[in-house]
Amino acid sequence: MLSVLIPVYNFDVKRLVTTLDQQLTQAGIPYEIIMADDCSEEVFRQKNAELAHGANIQYIQNETNMGRAKIRNHLADIAQHPYLLFIDCDAAIQHQHYIKKYIDAIETMRQQPLFVINGGVAYQDEKPDNQYILRWTFGKKREEESAAKRALNPYHHFTPFNVVITKSLFQQIKFDETLTTYGHEDTLFGCQLKAHHIPYLHINNTLIHKGLDTNTEFLHKIRTSIDNLILLSENQKDNKLLFEDNRLLKTYQRSYKLGMLPLLRRIWQNKQAKMEKKLSLKPSIYLLDLYKLSYMAYKKA
């Protein structure tokens, strides 16, 4: 019935996989858990490979890094069951009914040949060390939302962090493998779901996002993701949904019409270091938005 697909990179997934295996066994359904390690460091390879035991748990070791899009496509290709549950390796299960909630939700959607079920993401309430504070603040303010709030703009919130999708649907869309670095492969996927009016159910079945990046790492990932977004926008110039649904692209277009791009470029050239220092010391979502917008203006000059 259910294939649980976990791309792994430099993270110990022992607790996650063990808990999933226990809950799936208790549910009494046909299942498999497939981990695909995307060329992690040796210490993580050894720990995670130990989990592959029995008929239901499979471990795959990649000798070269495939990237976020390609590895998820590969996992879906080899999955044996009609429903795919994608989980990121740095997720943590909060409650003992995690799998049951998804099974119940699948039952309510069975009449639909194609569908998506999104469980959501949460972050720990306790503030982390200062070196991780920016990623945590962004997650709490922008990503941690109830199912009811997510459902107001359902496709905007697509993410492979914690989602069930019918295999037949995934095989029709898949992630864009031209995006080999971090960021926005899920943005295009969400637009494709919306374009095809795919039934999309949001439920409160969150996983905790545990793998926080340092402030420096997160800012680097932001810049990389914007590079991907620029590439997408250039390759998808006729994709109105992409420009309507993405906050940064909408703001960039508005700034262009208002003649603000030269100012934004100067802000990036003269204030980048100061913005990064402020964001690391006292995170501000407003300043982070300005950081993103000014970087995009600079890169698209």
pLDDT digits (tens, 9 = 90+) for 81-129: 999 999 999 999 999 999 999 999 999 999 999 999 999 999 999 999 9
CB 169 within 8 A of CB 198: yes
Question: What's the whole-number mean pLDDT along residues 131-151?
Answer: 97
- Domain extents in the chain: 2-212, 217-299
Per-residue confidence (pLDDT) for residue 240, from 0 to 100: 85
Which range among 16-30, 128-142, 171-185 shows the weakest confidence by mean pLDDT?
171-185
Q: What is the number of residues in the chain?
A: 301
Residue 274 to residue 257: CA distance in whole angstroms = 27
Per-residue confidence (pLDDT) for residue 178, from 0 to 100: 79
Nearest to 16 by CA among 99, 97, 92, 124: 92
Q: How far is CA 143 from the centre of its chain?
A: 10
Question: What's the whole-number mean pLDDT along residues 257-271?
Answer: 98
Grade residue 232 by pLDDT with cuts at 50, 70 and 90.
confident
Residue 56 to residue 130: CA distance in whole angstroms = 40
Per-residue confidence (pLDDT) for residue 173, from 0 to 100: 93
Grade residue 66 by pLDDT with cuts at 50, 70 and 90.
confident
- Reading the block at residue 149, the tokens are 């709030």
CATH of domain 2-212: 3.90.550.10
- Reading the block at residue 227, the tokens are 């590079």
Question: What's the whole-number mean pLDDT along residues 45-54?
Answer: 79
The single-letter DSSP state of residue 59 is E
* Residues β-bridged to residue 59: 35
pLDDT at residue 168 greater than cutoff 90: yes
Question: What's the whole-number mean pLDDT along residues 258-263?
Answer: 98
pLDDT at residue 28 greater than cutoff 80: yes
For 63, left (φ over 0), alpha (ψ -120 to 50), or beta?
alpha
Per-residue confidence (pLDDT) for residue 184, from 0 to 100: 81
pLDDT at residue 180 greater than cutoff 80: no
Question: What's the whole-number mean pLDDT along residues 66-78?
Answer: 92
Per-residue confidence (pLDDT) for residue 68, from 0 to 100: 87
pLDDT at residue 183 greater than cutoff 90: no
- Reading the block at residue 207, the tokens are 């996983």
Question: What's the whole-number mean pLDDT along residues 251-278?
Answer: 97
> Containing H/E element for 40?
none
- Around 213, how many Cα atoms within 13 Å sit in the side-chain half-sphere? 14
The single-letter DSSP state of residue 13 is -
The single-letter DSSP state of residue 154 is G
Which range among 52-61, 102-111, 280-289 shows the weakest confidence by mean pLDDT?
52-61
Per-residue confidence (pLDDT) for residue 214, from 0 to 100: 98
Instruction: Please identify which residue in the block is written with the tokens 């997160």.
Output: 218
Strand order in the sheet with 2-8: 57-62, 31-38, 2-8, 83-87, 162-166, 116-118, 200-202
pLDDT at residue 175 greater than cutoff 80: yes
Per-residue confidence (pLDDT) for residue 243, from 0 to 100: 85
Per-residue confidence (pLDDT) for residue 67, from 0 to 100: 85
* Residues β-bridged to residue 49: none
Instruction: Please identify which residue in the block is written with the tokens 């110039």.
Output: 237
Quote the mean pLDDT of the chain: 93
